[in-house]
């Protein structure tokens, strides 16, 4: 591989990190509260709002069942409205965020539903408001699961980010296609794949490490 | 305050079922829980005791009737009013319900944080509570690192944090071994004594009632079938459910070889009557049985017996067999001398 490809690979890596980090952050800002709401708003639950729960659930499912590449193209007008342009790395963050938010919402919903109902009852018995129960009980207790869920989301977004080359999103995936495939430089393709593998490994390991730091429950398969 | 700490007034709880028809979990409950006492509600699973307990802090609401706690009508309280009432009513649970993500000290601080207490005032209060339940060395540990008994101590400290006047206990010792159960019951008794706290507990174990409850209510299929001071209920149980709970705990049951042959009425002139004799306080039975033989010539055959303590008072039960023809005479003699008798059946 010629030395002048190194800066190109480096820049593409930074672009991927930028897109993934920003869309994870924005996706969590939208998907986090949405997930908490979905986890607590069925009939008879803490924030009981069955109709809104159903409607939001349908929207989340619709967003999640749309193939990402179709989503990217379908929302180009919306992307232009938000980002001022429909092409480029920053513009690519819009569809990535819209794909990430419902995914993160479902992951956080699942993590929160894992929290023992007895803890909610105990907090209610203490005179906690629904907001206090969410902040002081549900989110801290679900934190290990939330971290693992976000790890999964980041890994998925790394994969999605490879498709935004379709709207000039650049990044590693785009580089792999343009150089590796269209210019027939298989070593670039290989380098891109290796970098992606390393990124995913790092994210996964970091996520598991952080989740373990938050996890104060008894170790599984060991006593008690 | 002279009235009861908790008063159930005609409380009914129905659960509407899909496709019509209601399940009645509680039926017209009238019960006063005295101030500063430990009262036990005993019943089998599904009897409604858990629903009844949860009425006190509004986790369940009555379909009809009133629940009055510290002069507040719980069923009629607004959300904010209910949260205030809940801060005056602590609760402990069978499975402890501690937050795994918080240390012992942080768990105990939770109700204070919820009540909006100043950070500066939380720490000394938590330290005081930890000391009271004897967990100073474990303050920085997480629940997963504690034994069951230690976890329940944390639960108790947490329930006391906001200085409640009433403590509710939901089968708090049912997940614990006998030694640990004893320690947790001792702690509850000490709290009741030292703080004058009213404790209402539910249990399916008569031993818990015997050990710490001064008052007891027996619940069966959503109805209170018997209620009163523990000692009185133990010495003269009126309801079959109470008696069946008591056989487990007073250690007397008719031996199998007799139980198999027992019938309602005597079948022959030689039949024997099976009699349960209960003695309380300072009465001694052996001289009474000996006198029954010596003075009346009635021979008595002892089948089973045990002596227990309820509170600090001795409480004994004997099951004996004696000739059925002499039964009425023997009962009169024993009851004249302050013993309680009950005919369980006849053999032969």
ipTM rounded to 2 decimals? 0.88
Report whether pLDDT(B1) > 60: no
| Mean per-residue pLDDT, A112-131 | 96
Report whether pLDDT(A24) > 70: yes
Distance separating alpha carbons of residues B207 and B309, to the nearest angstrom? 11
Q: Which residues contact A166 (CB under 8 A, 6 or more apart)?
A: A69, A72, A73
Residues of B in contact with A210 (CB under 8 A): none
Residues of B in contact with A145 (CB under 8 A): none
Question: pLDDT tier at B105 (50, 70, 90 boundaries)?
Answer: very high
| Mean per-residue pLDDT, A163-174 | 83
Which CATH code is given to the segment(s) B251-347? 3.30.70.260
Q: Which residues contact A31 (CB under 8 A, 6 or more apart)?
A: A100, A101, A102, A103, A104, A105, A107, A108
B138-155 per-position pLDDT tens digit: 999 999 999 999 999 999
Residue boundaries of the structural domains of chain B: 6-239, 251-347
**CA-derived radius of gyration, chain B:** 24
| Mean per-residue pLDDT, B277-288 | 71
B291-302 per-position pLDDT tens digit: 888 888 888 998
Q: What strands lie across the sheet with B340-347, from one edge to the other?
A: B262-263, B340-347, B272-280, B313-323, B301-310
Q: Does B174 touch chain A (CB under 8 A)?
A: no
Q: Does B256 touch chain A (CB under 8 A)?
A: no
Residue A221: predicted pLDDT: 45
Chain A interface mutation, best of B95, B101, B109, highest count of A Cβ atoms under 10 Å: B101
- The mean pLDDT value of chain A amounts to 91
Fold of B6-239: Rossmann fold (3.40.50)
- Answer whether B274's CB lies under 8 Å from B319's CB: yes
**Buried b / exposed e along B158-178 (16+ C-beta atoms within 10 A):** bbbbbebbbbbbbbbbeebee
Which one of A124, A216, A218 has the shortest CB-CB distance to B101? A216
| Mean per-residue pLDDT, B239-254 | 79
Higher pLDDT among residues B315 and B34, named by residue: B34
Side-chain half-sphere exposure of B129, counting CA atoms within 13 A:
27
Residue A2: predicted pLDDT: 64
Q: Which residue of B has its CA nearest to A139?
A: B101
Distance separating alpha carbons of residues B268 and A198, to the nearest angstrom? 93
Q: Which residues contact A219 (CB under 8 A, 6 or more apart)?
A: none
Residues of A in contact with B115 (CB under 8 A): 126-127
CATH class of the region A15-169? mainly alpha
Q: Which residue has the tokens 């009980």?
A: A137
Higher pLDDT among residues B255 and B66, named by residue: B66
Residue boundaries of the structural domains of chain A: 15-169
| Mean per-residue pLDDT, A123-136 | 96
Report whether pLDDT(B52) > 70: yes
Selected residues 108-167 of chain B with any CB under 8 Å from a CB in chain A = 110-111, 113-115, 142-144, 162
Other Cβ atoms within 10 Å of B64 Cβ, number = 13
B126-137 per-position pLDDT tens digit: 999 999 999 999
CA A67 from chain centre, in angstroms, equals: 16
B198-203 vs B166-170, strand pairing mode: parallel
A118 contacts B93? CB cut-off 8 A? yes
Residue A136: predicted pLDDT: 97
- Answer whether A136's CB lies under 8 Å from A128's CB: yes
Report whether pLDDT(B309) > 80: no
Q: Which residues contact A163 (CB under 8 A, 6 or more apart)?
A: A68, A69, A72, A173
Distance (Å) from the alpha carbon of A41 to chain B's nearest alpha carbon: 18
CA A57 from chain centre, in angstroms, equals: 17
A163 — phi, psi (to 5°)?
-90, -15
């Amino acid at each position: 591989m010629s030395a002048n490809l190194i800066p190109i690979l480096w820049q593409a890596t930074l672009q991927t990190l930028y897109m993934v980090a920003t869309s994870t952050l924005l996706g969590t800002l939208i998907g986090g509260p949405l997930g908490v709401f979905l986890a607590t708003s069925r009939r008879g639950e803490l924030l009981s709002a069955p109709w809104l729960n159903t409607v939001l659930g349908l929207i989340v499912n619709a967003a999640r069942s749309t193939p990402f590449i179709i989503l990217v193209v379908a929302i180009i007008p919306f992307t232009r409205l938000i980002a001022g342009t429909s092409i480029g790395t920053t513009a690519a963050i819009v569809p990535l965020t819209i794909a990430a938010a419902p995914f993160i919402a479902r992951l956080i919903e699942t993590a929160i539903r894992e929290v023992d109902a007895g803890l909610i009852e105990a907090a209610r018995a203490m005179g906690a408001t629904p907001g206090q129960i969410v902040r002081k009980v549900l989110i801290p207790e679900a934190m290990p699961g939330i971290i693992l869920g976000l790890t999964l989301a980041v890994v998925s977004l790394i994969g999605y980010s490879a498709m935004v080359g379709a709207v000039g999103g650049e990044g590693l995936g785009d580089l792999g296609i343009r150089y590796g495939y269209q210019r027939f430089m298989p070593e670039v393709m290989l380098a891109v794949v290796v970098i992606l593998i390393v990124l995913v490994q790092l994210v996964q390991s970091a996520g598991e490490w952080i989740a373990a730091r938050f996890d104060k429950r008894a170790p599984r398969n060991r006593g008690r | 305050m002279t009235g009861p700490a908790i008063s159930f007034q005609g409380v009914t709880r129905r659960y509407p079922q899909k496709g019509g028809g209601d399940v009645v979990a509680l039926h017209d409950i009238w019960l006063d829980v005295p101030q500063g006492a430990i009262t036990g509600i005993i019943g089998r699973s599904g009897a409604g005791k858990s629903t009844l307990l949860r009425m006190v802090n509004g986790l369940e609401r009555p379909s009809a009737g009133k629940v009055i706690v510290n002069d507040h009508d719980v069923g009629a309280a607004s959300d904010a009013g209910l949260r205030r009432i809940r801060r005056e009513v602590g609760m402990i649970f069978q499975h402890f319900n501690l937050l795994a993500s918080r240390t012992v000290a942080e768990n105990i601080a939770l109700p204070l944080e919820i009540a909006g207490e100043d950070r500066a005032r939380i720490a000394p209060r938590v330290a005081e509570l930890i000391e009271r339940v004897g967990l100073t060395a474990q303050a920085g540990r997480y629940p997963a690192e504690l034994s069951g008994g230690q976890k329940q101590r944390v639960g108790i400290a947490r329930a006391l944090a906001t200085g409640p006047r009433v403590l509710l206990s939901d089968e708090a010792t049912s997940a614990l071994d006998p030694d640990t159960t004893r320690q947790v019951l001792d702690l509850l008794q000490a709290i009741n004594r030292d703080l004058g706290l009213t404790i209402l507990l539910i249990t399916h174990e008569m031993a818990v009632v015997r050990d710490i409850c001064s008052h007891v209510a027996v619940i069966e299929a959503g109805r209170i079938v018997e209620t009163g001071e523990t000692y009185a209920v133990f010495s003269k149980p009126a309801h079959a459910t109470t008696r069946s709970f008591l056989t487990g705990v007073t250690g007397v049951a008719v031996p199998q070889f007799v139980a198999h042959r027992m019938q309602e009425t005597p079948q022959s002139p030689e039949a024997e009557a099976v009699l349960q004799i209960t003695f309380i306080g300072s009465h001694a039975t052996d001289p009474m049985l000996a006198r029954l033989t010596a003075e009346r010539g009635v021979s008595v055959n002892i089948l089973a017996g045990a002596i227990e303590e309820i509170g600090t008072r001795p409480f004994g039960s004997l099951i004996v067999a004696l000739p059925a023809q002499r039964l009425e005479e023997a009962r009169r003699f024993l009851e004249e001398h302050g013993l309680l008798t009950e005919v369980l059946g006849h053999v032969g």
